[in-house]
Structure 1
Amino acid sequence: MKDKINADMCKHINEPDDKFCSHRCIRFTLEAEDKLIQPGHMEGYGGYNTRGESYDFTNFYMMHNDKPYIPVVGEFHFSRFAYLQWEEELLKMKAGGVHIVATYIFWNFHEEQEGEFNWSGNLNLRQFVELCGKHELALILRIGPFCHGEVRNGGLPDWLFNYAFEVRSNDEGYLFYAKRFYQEITRQIEGCFYQDGGPIIGIQLENEYMHAGAPMDSWGYSQDKYISSGRDGKEHMELLRRIAENAGMKPMFYTATAWGKAAVPAHGTLPMLAGYAYTPWVPNQPPSGEYLFRDLHLNPAEEVDYDSKQYPAAYCELAGGMQVSYHARPVVDADSVEAMTIVKLANGSNMVGYYMYHGGSNPIGCKTYMNERGLPKVTYDYQAPLGEFGRIGESYDRIRSLSMFLEAYGEQLAPMGCVVSEDQLTIAPENTLDLRWSVRQRSGAGFLFINNYQDHIQMPARDIRLELLTSQGNAIFPYEEGTMQLNSGKAVILPFHLDLGGIKLISATVQPLTKFQVKEELTAVFYAHEGMTPEYVIDASSVASVQMTAGTVREQDGKYVLHPVAGKNDGFSVSTMDGKVIRIVTLTREEALQSYLFELGGEKRLVISSSHIYQQNEQLISTSVGQSEFEVSIYPAPERITAPEYTIISRMQQQQWFVTYTLQVCVYQPEVEINYPKEHAASLKINTCWPEQVHDLFVEIDYEGDVAAAYIHQQLLTDHIQYGHTWNIGLKQSRHLLHDHALRLLITPLRKGKTEHFVNQAYVERFHGVELGRFEHIRIVPHYRVALKFS
């Protein structure tokens, strides 16, 4: 059955009443029927691996090991990163909440010259696949032949255009070479599919077929010449699938980019969606509709070529950032990434995939650069959560916190249907007055989603109060008198009528982060958004007692109303009538964004640190940017930790639940000699004999100018288009070159004035004005590294 919303369900209450005093309130009657879960068109396209683990699908969600599952997918192009650091970056992705890695295989990277395939070094697909398998990261390969990915010719080799056939079609000449390419890929990944015990669960054929092409950079004459978007529709996609299968590819399922009415085969192919708000391809872009609440399962955001009700709503390209181009230089902030994720989850997305999750650098070809025109030659940083040289951005923490929520509550959230009130359907992106909110629910229990972010518009902070009238009773946010403040640019998820280990959480003004067992007792972790006073309303019928270290507890009308103090050093415990104990921690927002959940010493542990952390075997690897002293808090406390000799554990503090270690390493002042041979140029001679506590050095450059480039000896290391943010260059990958050569930085000035154009036998350009190009600040920042061992 479909979710139903009657026209009179939602009322805005502007008049004071006994319960709400003079506060403006939204009251909503939740009468939607539960989502009907059916097999759908992906039925039978799952399978088992050699360890008995499994994937499967319904029409509404993916299943993993027979349970509803909402995975996080992270795009990382192996061929755009140094292969010696792949393992570290994959571990950072895993710590950041990624469950499935997606990667393009760019044809022109591997066969730049006809008949000469290269699968070595940074192009070693087999090594990358095996590393994903080693660290239990599932993998989706996006094999083209056309990929796009802002690569020259969309990934098609230049030599392909020397022939008379039509690319991206059923032309036999084109298919001959596509078949040969697929056979080469198959040779590299033999035995690596999921059912063989490997990590590859899916394969994407083509990209945006029948929707979009790419600049034909091999043409070299006209900027208006584009590669065809395709012309043979689903027939071509089915033909590519047969070619792939005949070559030996046997994934459980295929995927297809499905936006813009792109071609999607009828069965066995999962349609994948995209969400971008900062889009260089839309001139003078207005505010987008990406932050509005809609039911994606019933009504996709744009026209599609498949029956959306027969497939899970799945995203492969939520904007983890955006690539800066010469003519469009958008800034994608962390608030936008977080808000879009929350809105898409509210709208029924049951797979969250980020493009890009990890940036990188284009390889330099034998004959040309491999970038798409108008884009940087080398850098593909993308402002991603993990950047070109492994830089960790602010959105990394935002995505991880949401992934922790999905790991803990995804099994409950996945079958919940979307309930979007009628007034939400009339809100335009430019509307800053009306509150944006939505619900996912099943049997009167679920999650309330509220969004106060909109791209290209500053949303006002607002005081809000909501009441949901459900079959399980009313849930009020906040329950006590007054309102809660929703700050500008923020989006939140709040639970109602949530079964929490045997107690019923009627409502809470705190966001769920994670939950895990500690010695057979459930620990549930929430966090308080700024402006929202922490409040829990718990059904008293199943509660024997409540113990709180700091805050207030009040029992009224069969409910416990608790207002704890936010912070890891305090919490409360609820004992149930049947003897269970549920421990509840309320973190601050800052602490939540510094939180990780790892399996260490045989049990789950929550780790909070201002440093960034990933797990390698039984070690916690902690990296700190520029700070030689930092804290690591762990719950439950380990018996003992050890650190390298160069690390001092200056103190250990035992709080109620967490133990906090303060770690110190020797401060390192990088040795660098900077010369400025001219105003627009700088030369850095850097001592590469770093001490063992230093894992990497980053050059952070603030400059005024148009574009810039960095060279080592005769090699272009990376480049940069100025978009108002600091230019970051990691040196670890190039340390061996820096031993003998300087890092040279060159700025192309920004012109302010007028340019005169005329023809006098030849084209002449004369500029009248000033050229601005100067370095404002260059600094070298050490990234410290400490490996903590548990015993």
Structure 2
Amino acid sequence: MSAPIRVTDRWLERDGRPWFPVTGEIHYGRVPRERWSEVLGHARAGGLDSVASYVFWQAHEPAPGDFRWDGNLDLRAFVELAGAHGLEVVVRIGPWSHAEARYGGFPDWLVQRDLALRTDDPGYLALVRRLYGEIAAQLRGLLHADGGPVVGVQVENELYDDPGHLATLRRVAEEAGIYVPVWTATGWGGARLPENLLDVYSGYADGFWAESDDGWPDWAAQHFRYSTVRDDLGVGADVRAALADDGTVEGTGDAGTAPARPATPFATCELGGGMHVAYHRRPLVTPRDVAALALATIGSGSVWQGYYVYAGGTQRTGPHWTEQESQATGYPNDVPTLSYDFGAPVGEHGQIRAHHHLLRRQHLWLAADGAALATMPATVGGGSADPDELRWAVRSDGRRGYVFATTYQPAHSPLPAQRDVQLTVELDDGPVTVPSRPVDLPAGVSVVWPVRYPLTEALVLRSATAALLTRLEEGGPDGTPLVVLTATDGVPVELVLEGEVPVAGPVAAGTLDGGTVVTLTTAPGPGTTVDLPGVRLLVLDEASADQVYRFELGGRPRLLLSDVPLSVSPDARHLVAQTERPDVRIACWRPAQGWVSRTGAAPRAGRHRLAVDPAPHAPAPPAPRRGGPAHRLAAPTDFSGAARVRLDVPADLLDAPPGDRVLLRVAWSGDVGRAVVGDPLADGTVIGDHFWHGRDWDVDLTPWRDEVARDGLTLELLPWRRATGVRVDPAVRDVPDGARIRSVDVVHVARVGLAVPPPSDDEQETR
């Protein structure tokens, strides 16, 4: 029997203990089944303890009564595999999903019926009951009560005005046999929810759904400030307005006054793991944007970090070619026909991006101290829109806590440095001032400083100007704990300990107010350790902290350093390195020895440059046009006048052993690109598309290598025309009209299995 889970008015609990979940969205139906395990392995390696996924009705019931659960639609197999990776699952059962899917995930045959969709219309509910029954059959034996990984269910999505219908959906799901401890519904946009659903929230650094002539939206800016306001009125507002006008999809239930909701914990399900692009507006959200927003949300009181999306995917194809949101189906936006990369931590084709590492630092901290943090309410000290005001917050339970401060906003709206920063935290037994002397915070940083953190039962870290990363209870000498801290670049490290404490290591020590003040005499890094009574501190620089992984291997926790992405096989017996370089080097922490290096080889990994015309000419690009309910710029569908770049890819570059991947990486500028196998003017097959927005364009050649070798590959490129009015980020918009190619590379991404390092003598002695 699984440990009981319940939702209190302030946090979630597991087995009577506070629990701080970290969840990432991965759409099993948009990822090839043979790559599920790889993607779930990276999610676990990134510090997630759970994943969420939509169940797209249109994919599972393409014709009335004809349900499909095969291939990469096998929900049961996906949930079982997530459980094998140590991940729990939140199933978003709809019926309406949105998710940039055709009709929000509704099948065409449903939309064509004369039903009041997303309401308690009896005809509609009969079809929902059938769908939920099929989902329940897939999840039988996998629910939390049965010892399975499914701990939560979300009903509907972005339904604002019909709490009665949302309550009905939960009842129908339970009648079908779906019983879970956590039931949720999206709360943003001023949604009215019934009391038996937990409201969950969102936060994005930008949004493709804004207008092309809008600057950076205020609703995005608010997420880089500390605030007790959970709601975001911008997310989905354009679709809400469009579908309400259409009248066929938006709920139109009871518009009376909703009952007052009880206090609920601040939970999120859609913190932007990146951002999708539409034709008219193409945000360029950076890894640091994602990490800063996530950390600001924790500082604002979040007790559940949920990312949308954590791993990108590819839009499904069906009888209408692709099943993406488009103006042709009544939506305001045209999005790419295939790519749903989203700029996510794990990309559409398994690319591991910098925010996978930046977020892992936060997740390791939450794994180490999230149970305590969840009980700490947030107090916002400085959170205004004034760029000159220090933005800070405190989370504390009265005994100890964390100080948050930030000078970070995206590069197109930066904040200045803050001089002479010093904050005083009022605790039950008196104030703590951190740091003991004011410090300057550089521009573009976010810090979390622990206050009265218990290093051991007898030793307390009164304050520190370094963040808690993780701890190993037997990672120090003689089986003592190892506590790992991360310094912030440009901020000197100060550690203040309660009482007079002997200190050894590259430090200078003094006394202050009955405590011991420790400063480093060497730069933070993998070799910077400080020995205290009963505990060792390891103080890393930020670049090294980005390389830290913590895995359960060989029956014990392991701390690893790696400059290539790592994951663990589901049986926890093997490390797996993913690399575009031929050499792999990792280091494993040994309590008595420090870091011990290991190497591996991936001789086929690397990049191979192809020769191309850097300025291909498009003889007759189509005229701009507008469409949809918001009259926004529409994606071109006529590629007859595009520039065509024929690529000759040597057959040996396409060869890859199982598990490896061959990507085509195009660094370019333009408007819209398509990769076509075969003759693009005849029966060619589009295998990838891209709305240019500043990031490189990756196309996975692995599933198409035989066809590419036989029929060739052509890039169809439409030129950039500034006068069209498409919005791209200011950082990249200063490009000439036309199509420009900087480089085209064939990238071999290798997956290398590494043996689990055996325990050293000192580890064996302390087990």
TM-score (norm 1): 0.80
**C-alpha spacing 1:369/1:665, structure 2 compared with 1 (3 Å):** closer
Task: Determine which of 219, 244, 264 is the counterpart of 2:193.
Answer: 264
Task: Determine which of 660, 666, 671 is the counterpart of 1:706.
Answer: 671
More strand by share: 1
Q: Secondary structure at the match of 1:546?
A: coil
Corresponding residue for residue 537 of structure 1: 496
Corresponding residue for residue 788 of structure 1: 754
Asked whether 1:528 is paired with 2:487, we answer yes
Q: Deviation at 1:717?
A: 1.6
Provide the C-alpha distance between the structure 1 equivalents of 2:315 and 2:232, rounded to a whole number of angstroms.
Answer: 32
- Give 1:479's aligned amino acid: S
Q: Deviation at 1:139?
A: 0.6
Q: Deviation at 1:514?
A: 0.6
Task: Determine which of 61, 74, 83 is the counterpart of 2:24.
Answer: 74
Provide the C-alpha distance between the structure 2 equivalents of 1:150 and 1:624, rounded to a whole number of angstroms.
Answer: 30
Q: Deviation at 1:294?
A: 2.1
Q: Deviation at 1:669?
A: 6.0
**C-alpha spacing 1:567/1:669, structure 2 compared with 1 (3 Å):** closer
Asked whether 1:775 is paired with 2:741, we answer yes
Asked whether 1:623 is paired with 2:577, we answer yes
Provide the C-alpha distance between the structure 1 equivalents of 2:6 and 2:659, rounded to a whole number of angstroms.
Answer: 44
Asked whether 1:293 is paired with 2:226, we answer yes
Q: Deviation at 1:145?
A: 0.9
Corresponding residue for residue 43 of structure 2: 93
- Give 1:778's aligned amino acid: V
Q: After superposition, what is the alpha-carbon deviation per residue over 1:700-732, rounded to whole angstroms, capped at 9, x for unaligned?
A: 101232101123344322210000111122333
Corresponding residue for residue 437 of structure 1: 392
Corresponding residue for residue 451 of structure 1: 406
Task: Determine which of 400, 405, 411 is the counterpart of 2:365.
Answer: 405
Task: Determine which of 381, 392, 412 is the counterpart of 2:341.
Answer: 381
Asked whether 1:683 is paired with 2:638, we answer no
Q: Secondary structure at the match of 2:721?
A: strand
CA contact (8 A) 1:55 1:63 kept: yes
CA contact (8 A) 2:507 2:530 kept: no
Asked whether 1:658 is paired with 2:595, we answer yes
**C-alpha spacing 1:113/1:694, structure 2 compared with 1 (3 Å):** closer
Asked whether 1:697 is paired with 2:662, we answer yes
Task: Determine which of 674, 694, 709 is the counterpart of 1:724.
Answer: 694
Q: Secondary structure at the match of 1:776?
A: strand
Q: Percent identity?
A: 31
Q: Secondary structure at the match of 1:242?
A: helix
Q: Deviation at 1:247?
A: 1.9
Asked whether 1:204 is paired with 2:137, we answer no
**C-alpha spacing 1:401/1:753, structure 2 compared with 1 (3 Å):** closer
Structure 2 residue ranges without an equivalent (≥5): 235-256, 327-333, 618-642, 679-683, 726-735, 759-767
CA contact (8 A) 1:675 1:684 kept: no
Q: After superposition, what is the alpha-carbon deviation per residue over 1:308-365, rounded to whole angstroms, capped at 9, x for unaligned?
A: 6621110000111111100010011122211111111111110000001111001111
Worse-superposed segment, 93-102 or 306-315: 306-315
Corresponding residue for residue 326 of structure 1: 279
Task: Determine which of 305, 323, 331 is the counterpart of 1:370.
Answer: 323
Corresponding residue for residue 744 of structure 1: 714
Q: Deviation at 1:693?
A: 10
- Give 2:167's aligned amino acid: E
CA contact (8 A) 1:315 1:353 kept: yes
**C-alpha spacing 1:358/1:786, structure 2 compared with 1 (3 Å):** same
Provide the C-alpha distance between the structure 2 equivalents of 1:205 and 1:153, rounded to a whole number of angstroms.
Answer: 17
Task: Determine which of 552, 558, 568 is the counterpart of 2:526.
Answer: 568
Within a 5 Å distance, the mapping from 1:339-354 to structure 2 comes to 339-354=292-307
Q: Deviation at 1:54?
A: 2.9
Q: Deviation at 1:675?
A: 6.8
Provide the C-alpha distance between the structure 2 equivalents of 1:300 and 1:375, rounded to a whole number of angstroms.
Answer: 25
Provide the C-alpha distance between the structure 1 equivalents of 2:743 and 2:274, rounded to a whole number of angstroms.
Answer: 25
- Give 1:416's aligned amino acid: M
Q: Secondary structure at the match of 2:358?
A: helix
Asked whether 1:243 is paired with 2:172, we answer yes
Q: Secondary structure at the match of 1:249?
A: coil
**C-alpha spacing 1:667/1:192, structure 2 compared with 1 (3 Å):** closer
CA contact (8 A) 1:321 1:356 kept: yes
Q: Secondary structure at the match of 1:465?
A: strand
Worse-superposed segment, 661-670 or 394-403: 661-670
Corresponding residue for residue 245 of structure 2: none
CA contact (8 A) 1:665 1:693 kept: no
Asked whether 1:396 is paired with 2:353, we answer no
Q: Deviation at 1:557?
A: 4.5
Provide the C-alpha distance between the structure 1 equivalents of 2:113 and 2:514, rounded to a whole number of angstroms.
Answer: 78
Corresponding residue for residue 131 of structure 2: 181
Task: Determine which of 585, 588, 591 is the counterpart of 2:544.
Answer: 591
Q: After superposition, what is the alpha-carbon deviation per residue over 1:65-95, rounded to whole angstroms, capped at 9, x for unaligned?
A: 3221111110000000100110111011000
CA contact (8 A) 1:672 1:686 kept: no
Provide the C-alpha distance between the structure 2 equivalents of 1:573 and 1:669, rounded to a whole number of angstroms.
Answer: 42
Task: Determine which of 444, 455, 463 is the counterpart of 1:507.
Answer: 463
Task: Determine which of 62, 67, 79 is the counterpart of 1:112.
Answer: 62
Q: After superposition, what is the alpha-carbon deviation per residue over 1:371-429, rounded to whole angstroms, capped at 9, x for unaligned?
A: 111100011000111110111111111111100000001121111121223xx36x22x
Give the alignment's Cα RMSD to 1 decimal. Answer: 2.6
Asked whether 1:546 is paired with 2:492, we answer no
Corresponding residue for residue 468 of structure 1: 424
CA contact (8 A) 2:644 2:714 kept: no
Provide the C-alpha distance between the structure 2 equivalents of 1:497 and 1:738, rounded to a whole number of angstroms.
Answer: 60
Corresponding residue for residue 223 of structure 1: none
Provide the C-alpha distance between the structure 2 equivalents of 1:253 and 1:753, rounded to a whole number of angstroms.
Answer: 50
Q: Deviation at 1:750?
A: 2.5
Q: Deviation at 1:734?
A: 3.7
Provide the C-alpha distance between the structure 2 equivalents of 1:458 and 1:754, rounded to a whole number of angstroms.
Answer: 28
Provide the C-alpha distance between the structure 1 equivalents of 2:469 and 2:316, rounded to a whole number of angstroms.
Answer: 39
- Give 1:716's aligned amino acid: V
**C-alpha spacing 1:513/1:771, structure 2 compared with 1 (3 Å):** closer
**C-alpha spacing 1:450/1:556, structure 2 compared with 1 (3 Å):** closer
Q: After superposition, what is the alpha-carbon deviation per residue over 1:276-326, rounded to whole angstroms, capped at 9, x for unaligned?
A: 230222331434211222235xx7566996766621110000111111100
Provide the C-alpha distance between the structure 2 equivalents of 1:634 and 1:306, rounded to a whole number of angstroms.
Answer: 55
Provide the C-alpha distance between the structure 2 equivalents of 1:752 and 1:302, rounded to a whole number of angstroms.
Answer: 30
- Give 1:631's aligned amino acid: R
**C-alpha spacing 1:716/1:341, structure 2 compared with 1 (3 Å):** same
Corresponding residue for residue 761 of structure 1: none
Provide the C-alpha distance between the structure 2 equivalents of 1:192 and 1:262, rounded to a whole number of angstroms.
Answer: 30
Provide the C-alpha distance between the structure 1 equivalents of 2:454 and 2:232, rounded to a whole number of angstroms.
Answer: 32
CA contact (8 A) 2:185 2:193 kept: yes
Provide the C-alpha distance between the structure 1 equivalents of 2:83 and 2:107, rounded to a whole number of angstroms.
Answer: 30
Provide the C-alpha distance between the structure 2 equivalents of 1:469 and 1:101, rounded to a whole number of angstroms.
Answer: 35
Corresponding residue for residue 206 of structure 2: 278
**C-alpha spacing 1:748/1:691, structure 2 compared with 1 (3 Å):** closer
Corresponding residue for residue 166 of structure 1: 116
Provide the C-alpha distance between the structure 1 equivalents of 2:594 and 2:259, rounded to a whole number of angstroms.
Answer: 51
**C-alpha spacing 1:486/1:469, structure 2 compared with 1 (3 Å):** closer
Structure 1 residue ranges without an equivalent (≥5): 1-49, 211-230, 576-580, 638-654, 756-769
